[in-house]
Structure 1
Amino acid sequence: MRGALGGPRVLLRRLREVMAEPISAQDRLDKIVVLIAANMVAEVCSVYVLRVDATLELYATEGLNRDAVHLTVMRTDEGLVGHVAREAESLALSDAQNHPEYSYRPETGEEIYNSFLGVPILRGGNTLGVLVVQNRARRTYTDEEIEALQTTAMVMAEMIASGELTALAKPGAEPAVRRPLHLTGTPLADGLGLGHVVLHEPRVVITNVIADDVQKETDRLDGAIGKLRASIDLLLEEDGLSKAGEHREILEAYRMFAHDRGWMHRMREAVHSGLTAEGAVERVQSDTRARIMRASDPYLRERLHDLDDLANRLLRELTGRQRASERADLPENAILVARNMSPAALLDYDRDRIRGLVLEEGGTTSHVTIVARALGIAAVGQVENATSLADPGDPVIVDGLAGQVHLRPPGDVEEAYAEKVRFRAKRQARFAELRDRPSVTRDGVAIDLMLNAGLLVDLPHIGETAAAGIGLFRTELQFMVASTFPRISEQLALYRAVLDAAGDRPVTFRTLDIGGDKVLPYMRTVEEENPALGWRAIRLGLDRPGLLRSQIRALLRAAAGRELRVMFPMVADVHEFDAARTILERELTHLRKHGHALPEKVHVGAMVEVPSLLFQLDEMLTRADFLSVGSNDLVQFLFAADRSNVRVADRFDPLSPAALRAFRMVAEAGLRHGKPVTLCGELASRPLEAIALAAVGFRALSLSPASVGPVKSVILDLDVGAARALLLPLLEDTSGAAEIRAALRAFAEDAGLPL
């Protein structure tokens, strides 16, 4: 295409000059539409900007009636411009007035124009407006012309995103790039966080999108692509895939996309239209993101993350920037926004400044969620497109209870949540008043409330909550947040600190539960078809006895002169427990032989997580000193529903008869054998579920620190006998019609229990 000003590259250079001029935003827009119209040999060029009220406003025009500027407003379901904005796709017509979506606006004077070319103004796949050219003659716009206008629209996107146009808008009709957004997701960690966005992996900011030398930019793009492909090939060839930080399947997808000729061709075309290599990557990815976000195929939508990661890798290659989080300049009230992150990454931040966490992925039982709860950080997961919608520094509110995120909230929403924060503070004060009251129900049943923990940061919660002890100390978290395998001395120091903090209260240490989805960055991974059911936890420990022995030795030495409680995870057969206990006995003998001080007493238990153990409870309780039910895993295995898969994780209710009958089996077996039984899964952290667990016989619950107050408040007012009288007949009901959750909720409301 060659227009009056010499083609798209000349146009982009002229646009750069206009962008640099010290003129008003309206004058700049007016100059830009004149330049585009002349270059495209079009009688009309118009810019429509999407507003916060989801309408499109005419901001500038060359060729239409200029009195219509800031006067013409249309909905996104109205007219050809609305169609382009809604679908985020270009639309080229030679006879626009006969299109079924054509909408006549008399104030514009556009009835004399037949040809129409509209392209969306996109940034990060999100529509900011529409750029239109029109001609009187019925003409077919070429692919080159469409490409040129799309490239120009990218420059317009940066102008809109800069906030320069906000001064032209009326209150309540500002450009939508800064519009308030109400996003919904999955509640991960209770709490309210008010603060400002910090992107965990900040987007590469492109400062120059207009090329000076097209051939140089083409060479830069080709070179970066070559390096990217080589780096991905190298990752796949390495033995230790864990060093790459990503799963092999994702890397295979990266390799497939990185070698895709269509992707490369589109970026080359964008460079030839006058963009820098970085601008071309951004443009192509923004277009791709816009299309996939509107696709109904879930497979395509899942691939969006792969494409985003690939584009970000390529941008880092082009700019020479490494993958790094901007942790040095955290605001006082930081809200982290990320696709996903590891527990170690979260702990890298200054925890005194973190108020909330927003994840595009993340499940209720993921390990970063567990750490967020320990830190008292409000967290919401499964927030679609969060990292593209949020900009660094944006004000944001995270409601961890409701699973809601308010991005750039209006004043009334901010005030409402500020009032909520004040209300929660008062409620926490009421819970604090219950701190020293014994955890005994209204009808005299003592129910011990203990803590789930795993890091030093958890230890102050023991005193704060007056918990009966630590019912589950997840020892693997120390391994997961470390960059190298923790030495025995490091493990010893942690376990001793935990016991010191607990004082005379019991601490139950779970031996390493790694494998499956708990990958250590420094340990070679084993690819498995179904890792949750594979080589993990006690299975790995028995096959690598040196690993288990070193941990047990550290635990025994840390507990010198005190009682020690150790339990083994994911025991599926009593013989596994026997083998693990034998290793522990050998370590006791070793320490005794070498003159080390020994624990006063060692209690050895097992976790009931694998359903096979439900049918070996009597055999197990003749061997074990106690049992702990891991409800997270037991429920997922009972229902064959992967708890990390959002499509099925919430499909089955843990308050259904099947799950509650399983829990009751364990509680009753413990009672028969006179052995203590605890439930230490996330189930115990919810007041309604705690009522059900007390009703089926549990007298010890281990829960998150933030949940102690709400659960204790319910326990103190609960009549366990009445709850049991309601629940047990429902468990015996064979009609399949029992609605246990609804019945329990009605019971709680009638009894005035604070849920």
Structure 2
Amino acid sequence: TAEAGVQRAFDDVRTRLGQSTDPYIRERLSDLQDLSNRLLLRLTGRAAADPSSLPDDMIVVARDMGPAELLDYDRTRLRGVVLEEGSALSHVAIVARALDIPVVGRAPDVLSRIEAGDPIVVDGDNAQVLVRPAEDILQTVHAAIDARAERRRKYMALRDFPSATRDQARISLNMNAGLLIDMQHLDETGADGVGLYRTEIPFMVRSEFPDVDAQAWLYGRVLDLADGKPVTFRTLDVGGDKVLPYLGAFGDDNPAMGWRAIRIGLDRPAMLRRQLRALILAANGRPLSVMFPMIAEVAELLSARHLLALELDRAKRRGQAVPEQLRVGVMFEVPALAWQLDSLLPHVDFVSVGTNDLLQFLYAADRGNSRLAGRYDSLSPALLRLLHFVVGKVRPAGVDIAVCGEMAGRPVEALALLAIGVRTLSMSPGAIGPVKAMIRSLDLNDAVGFMNSALTQPDRPLRETLRLFAADHSIEI
């Protein structure tokens, strides 16, 4: 039968790929499993479960998941995600945290241990999954949830207070976003603006590439909802584990370092020009900030800026309004760019550090590989010294520098970033309260002096050292 043929084909491919030592190849088994399941459902005449018909207070347990798949579920009912694979820095985990959904990855054999309908507790903060917990455990969990809610109320009370240290250093706190619904958090959190708008997320949930008018409407709504607060739009950053369903995977052996982000935009300039055209239309004379991702050479930025200039000229010829102020920046995530800063800085208005990719490229460690998760600390002297070097180059040149990776949203890491000279942070909305509380309890001069000394010490992660410093100085982390 056709069903048997599909199953035999999948079993054969699974046997061959399962012998591979390449983590990426092995992870593709989950894609093939999903394809096989969908084919079998179609052949047998059974319908796949409709995510919108699933129950309230649900937790999704899966082998793996992409960010677009996560968005299939009703976020008002989805309470958590548990994955056998993946890591804290995978894109699905980042999107889940932005949606305030706890996610735990690297849970081996969890699918074989959990039945549909089982009560589960997902503790994303501590990477724990409790299956069929006893009543006394549930009471403890509910107490922890109540305590968390109380902390959130305390953080909300800080909303209208300035984000300034005890010695009056002003720190700009911004939020990361990727969907229109995220924009409501701009007012709720009191964020200064949107430091990173991920334009690829709306592309990932569509069945076809959106045209210029559809993109312009979306970006215009983002600017409307921002109500005058600055928004930094990152151009399309797909590839790796962010696949557009209408383009498919690109077949790269190492997708994280393959054909992705600005490389796609420059090789397919019509795609990038349509997006830039839409951004100019959406601005309609308002200020516009555009950020190009994964720039590895200055020549790539210059090529991208050339395409932007062509679109600005096109708008002027047609009598369309152009941005009253245009800011152009880059994501610093490829380490090679650190040694090109003298050539880069005259061509940019700002630099935004993407610490997630920077960490994986610096240590040659795939951030989606569960075997490497946690092996290299974001508070390692190597990364902090690199960032300290970059800040020391960028700020004296009169160019703004921000951090928009996951480091910015964790109080201990944020403390380290401030101590090496960063003054602008962008993070998921839920992280703004804890980071602001840390900032308002911090004497920045003390932290700078401590960090200058710590970075000269033997190479070992500074996480515990920073925690002790915070405890000694009553810094809220």
What per-residue deviation string (whole Å, max 9, x for no partner) do you get for residues 465-517 of structure 1? 00010111111111112121112122111111111111121111111111222
The answer to whether the Cα contact below 8 Å between 2:377 and 2:461 also exists between their aligned partners in 1 is no
Match of 1:661 in 2: 385
What per-residue deviation string (whole Å, max 9, x for no partner) do you get for residues 569-588 of structure 1? 11111111111101101100
What per-residue deviation string (whole Å, max 9, x for no partner) do you get for residues 584-631 of structure 1? 011000011011111111111111111111011121111111111111
Match of 1:225 in 2: 4
Aligned mates of 1:308, 1:621 — CA distance in 2: 47
Match of 1:700 in 2: 424
Aligned mates of 2:164, 2:27 — CA distance in 1: 48
RMSD: 2.6
The correspondence for 1:254, drawn from 6, 11, 14, is 14
What per-residue deviation string (whole Å, max 9, x for no partner) do you get for residues 512-544 of structure 1? 111222221111433222222221111111111
Match of 2:92 in 1: 368
The answer to whether the Cα contact below 8 Å between 1:730 and 1:738 also exists between their aligned partners in 2 is no
SS of 1:482's partner is: coil
1:472 aligns with 2:196: yes
SS of 1:484's partner is: coil
Structure 2 vs 1, CA of residues 309 and 455 (structure 1 numbering), >3 Å: closer, same or farther? closer
After superposition, residues 315-464 of structure 1 pair within 5 angstroms as: 316=41, 319-322=44-47, 324-464=48-188
The correspondence for 2:468, drawn from 736, 746, 752, is 746
SS of 1:732's partner is: coil
Paired residue type of 1:754: E
Greater RCO (CA < 8 Å, at least 6 residues apart): 2
The answer to whether the Cα contact below 8 Å between 2:331 and 2:351 also exists between their aligned partners in 1 is yes
The correspondence for 1:512, drawn from 231, 236, 245, is 236
The answer to whether the Cα contact below 8 Å between 1:228 and 1:317 also exists between their aligned partners in 2 is no
The answer to whether the Cα contact below 8 Å between 1:225 and 1:314 also exists between their aligned partners in 2 is no
Paired residue type of 2:220: R
After superposition, residues 102-181 of structure 1 pair within 5 angstroms as: none
Paired residue type of 2:466: L
Aligned mates of 1:614, 1:695 — CA distance in 2: 19
Larger gyration radius, structure 1 or structure 2: 1
Structure 2 vs 1, CA of residues 669 and 419 (structure 1 numbering), >3 Å: closer, same or farther? same
Structure 2 vs 1, CA of residues 737 and 574 (structure 1 numbering), >3 Å: closer, same or farther? closer
TM-score by length of 2: 0.93
The answer to whether the Cα contact below 8 Å between 2:88 and 2:104 also exists between their aligned partners in 1 is no
Aligned mates of 2:125, 2:334 — CA distance in 1: 30
Aligned mates of 1:591, 1:311 — CA distance in 2: 47
SS of 2:421's partner is: coil
The answer to whether the Cα contact below 8 Å between 2:67 and 2:242 also exists between their aligned partners in 1 is no
Match of 1:647 in 2: 371
Aligned mates of 2:129, 2:350 — CA distance in 1: 42
Aligned residue pair count: 473
Unaligned runs of at least 5 residues, structure 2: none
Structure 1 window deviating more from structure 2 (313-322 vs 531-540): it is 313-322
Structure 2 vs 1, CA of residues 619 and 252 (structure 1 numbering), >3 Å: closer, same or farther? farther
Paired residue type of 1:750: D
The correspondence for 2:406, drawn from 682, 687, 690, is 682
Unaligned runs of at least 5 residues, structure 1: 1-221, 233-250, 259-297
SS of 2:51's partner is: coil
Structure 2 vs 1, CA of residues 303 and 591 (structure 1 numbering), >3 Å: closer, same or farther? closer
The answer to whether the Cα contact below 8 Å between 1:254 and 1:310 also exists between their aligned partners in 2 is no
Structure 1 window deviating more from structure 2 (579-588 vs 495-504): it is 495-504
TM superposition shift of 1:226: 2.5
Aligned mates of 2:339, 2:374 — CA distance in 1: 26
Structure 2 vs 1, CA of residues 394 and 588 (structure 1 numbering), >3 Å: closer, same or farther? same
Segments of 4+ in structure 1 off by > 6 A?
301-311
Structure 2 vs 1, CA of residues 672 and 338 (structure 1 numbering), >3 Å: closer, same or farther? same
The correspondence for 1:627, drawn from 351, 364, 378, is 351
Match of 2:282 in 1: 558
Aligned mates of 1:257, 1:508 — CA distance in 2: 41
SS of 1:642's partner is: coil
After superposition, residues 26-45 of structure 1 pair within 5 angstroms as: none
Aligned mates of 1:457, 1:474 — CA distance in 2: 13
SS of 1:463's partner is: helix
The answer to whether the Cα contact below 8 Å between 2:17 and 2:29 also exists between their aligned partners in 1 is no
After superposition, residues 692-731 of structure 1 pair within 5 angstroms as: 692-731=416-455
SS of 1:712's partner is: helix
TM superposition shift of 1:326: 4.0
TM superposition shift of 1:334: 1.3
Aligned mates of 1:451, 1:307 — CA distance in 2: 36
Structure 2 vs 1, CA of residues 520 and 252 (structure 1 numbering), >3 Å: closer, same or farther? farther
The correspondence for 1:522, drawn from 246, 260, 273, is 246
Aligned mates of 1:599, 1:252 — CA distance in 2: 56
Structure 2 vs 1, CA of residues 746 and 511 (structure 1 numbering), >3 Å: closer, same or farther? same
Aligned mates of 1:553, 1:306 — CA distance in 2: 34
Structure 2 vs 1, CA of residues 306 and 622 (structure 1 numbering), >3 Å: closer, same or farther? closer
Aligned mates of 1:660, 1:303 — CA distance in 2: 34
Aligned mates of 1:528, 1:667 — CA distance in 2: 33
Match of 1:79 in 2: none
TM superposition shift of 1:378: 1.4
After superposition, residues 73-88 of structure 1 pair within 5 angstroms as: none
What per-residue deviation string (whole Å, max 9, x for no partner) do you get for residues 25-65 of structure 1? xxxxxxxxxxxxxxxxxxxxxxxxxxxxxxxxxxxxxxxxx
TM-score by length of 1: 0.60
Aligned mates of 1:644, 1:303 — CA distance in 2: 12
Aligned mates of 1:460, 1:367 — CA distance in 2: 22
TM superposition shift of 1:367: 2.3
SS of 1:616's partner is: helix
Structure 2 vs 1, CA of residues 329 and 519 (structure 1 numbering), >3 Å: closer, same or farther? closer
- Determine what percentage of the aligned residue pairs are the same residue: 51
TM superposition shift of 1:344: 2.5
Structure 1 window deviating more from structure 2 (309-318 vs 740-749): it is 309-318
Structure 2 vs 1, CA of residues 228 and 730 (structure 1 numbering), >3 Å: closer, same or farther? same
What per-residue deviation string (whole Å, max 9, x for no partner) do you get for residues 398-438 of structure 1? 11111111122111111111111111111111001100111
TM superposition shift of 1:304: 9.1
The answer to whether the Cα contact below 8 Å between 1:228 and 1:313 also exists between their aligned partners in 2 is no
